[in-house]
Amino acid sequence: MKIYGQTFASRLMLGTSLYPSPKIMTEAIKASGASIVTVSLRRESGVERAGQGFWTLIRELGLTVLPNTAGCHSVKEAVTTAHMAREVFGTNWIKLEVVRDAETLQPEVYGLVEAARILIAEGFKVLPYTVEDLSVADKLVEAGCQVLMPWGAPIGSGLGLNNRYGLKQMRAHFPQQTLIVDAGLGLPSHAVAAMELGFDGVLLNTAVAKAGDPVVMAKGFALALEAGRLAYEADPMEARDMAAPSTPMLGQASLGGL
């Protein structure tokens, strides 16, 4: 998976919140084989920098850190959070989120495009959490985003791919763009479906962190991404409405003379 000129062995990006304990989080991330983990600035804030121990854990994993602007509802808030994240985490990568409301967590696309333009002009490498709308995607690409991250379904819903047609069209419209399905996946089968559509990767958190066994689920998603990508690269057969015999007719016994 290529992101802003860097190549990563894993196509799975994993979040770091909601786990039962730091130990389980660490084990799940290792089991997933993820090369990139997302981190919220809020985990590093608080009285007397209470998140410092958490940040130490993340650094010890030796993975690429992708800070996000989770919980931001305005352009100003998202841009300010991105600046703070760059200072705290020492990276110009940012997963840009500008959400409409706390109920749906749907991307607020007008603010998203504006914030992306501002941050890219300031040297950030922006990975925007967006919807599967081609006009919005075009605006983000025009702003300078080399990666697009359309949602599969609302964050934390576990519904999978709500709009397979829209995602398929997005892949066809942006053949050279890195596309990552972000949010709403609940099962490894959802990740397989995204990869079979030709997406470059998936980002998820809740499906692993809130599973009965996060470590086993993380491994399941890792295998799912590998299977889905192999299926896409194999150029799978087209679906048909009618049966088609798999046994050749040539050489079949004929009983016509009896």
Angstrom CA distances, 45 to 19, 29, 39, 80, stand at: 18, 22, 12, 14
d(CA 126, CA 193): 25
* Terminal C-alpha separation, the chain: 62
User: Which residues are registered as beta bridge partners of 36?
Assistant: 13, 64
DSSP state of 107: B
* Pairing between β-strand 178-182 and β-strand 147-150 as defined by DSSP bridges: parallel
* 184 labelled binding-site residue: yes
- The Cα 16–Cα 56 span in angstroms is 13
Amino acid at 174: F
Asked whether residue 163 is marked as a ligand-binding residue, the answer is: no
**Whole-angstrom distance, CA of residue 17 vs CA of residue 42:** 11
Nearest to 143 by CA among 174, 176, 111, 121: 121
For the question of residue 30 being annotated catalytic, the response is: no
Please indicate if the annotation marks 156 as binding a ligand: yes
Distance CA(240)–CA(256), nearest Å, equals 31
Q: Which residue of the set 23, 76, 95, 219 is catalytic? A: 95
Does the annotation flag 33 for ligand binding?
Answer: no
Side chain identity, residue 198 = G
183 is in an annotated binding site: yes
Binding residues for 1-deoxy-D-xylulose 5-phosphate: 156, 183-184, 205-206
**What are the catalytic residues?**
95
